[in-house]
Amino acid sequence: MAKITVQQSEVTILTFQENDYISLTDMANAKESGSRAADIIKNWLRNRYSLEFMGIWEMIHKPNFKVVEFDHFKLQAGLPSFVMSVSEWIEKTAAIGILVKKGKYGGTFAHKDIAFEFGSAISVPFKLYLIEEFQRLKEEEQKQLGWTARRELSKINYHIHTDAIKQNLVPIELTPHQISYVYANEADVLNVAL
């Protein structure tokens, strides 16, 4: 889990199955008090446009999304009697774009595409600040990833280097102490060359 600050409000980002999910609960809390966050999410989900957006997103990203159930919800969306929870949406349609996490650090999380759409419903400026802060976080992660990738590459090359020394440069009759000098000298040569 990572946290970003958007207009003085902390928003949690959860990585799930290699995708980033942003806390709709935190976003709704930024708009209203904590007790109203669930209502804001539920009301947004009732909206025909929101439901259609999520359904199309699911059809694009999940081949076995239950389209018949989605069509049933879409017909009722916007009616005064239509009420649906996030859990019901997930259960009936096999959706993957939105998820509910229980417990102390729980809440409703949505794939970044859906979360940005939810941000528009809360406030256009909030959505824009959220996108900017999210992109900043991803750029920082990429910088860290570059360091990690170089480290892993060095680790792999180390084994190649030591195996080559062992096979080609270390005579059988040397003691372990002498062998360590051969490895150290070759490492020095490699470091100077690089």
Kindly tell me if the per-residue pLDDT of 60 is higher than 90.
yes
> Each residue of 12-38: pLDDT tens digit?
998 888 889 999 999 998 877 666 888
Predicted TM-score (pTM) of the model is: 0.68
Higher per-residue pLDDT: 3 or 172: 3
The mean predicted confidence, pLDDT, of the chain is 85
At 121-158, the pLDDT tens digits run 888 888 888 888 888 888 887 777 666 666 666 777 77
**Structure tokens that stand for 95 in this block:** 């959706």
What is the per-residue pLDDT for 109?
Answer: 95
Express each pLDDT in 73-97 by its tens digit: 999 988 888 988 899 999 999 999 9
What are the structural domain ranges in the chain? 2-122, 152-193
Task: For residue 33, count CB atoms less than 10 angstroms from its CB and return exposed for 0-12, middle for 13-18, buried for 19 or more.
Answer: exposed
Give the Å distances, CA to CA, from 155 to 150, 152, 186: 9, 5, 16
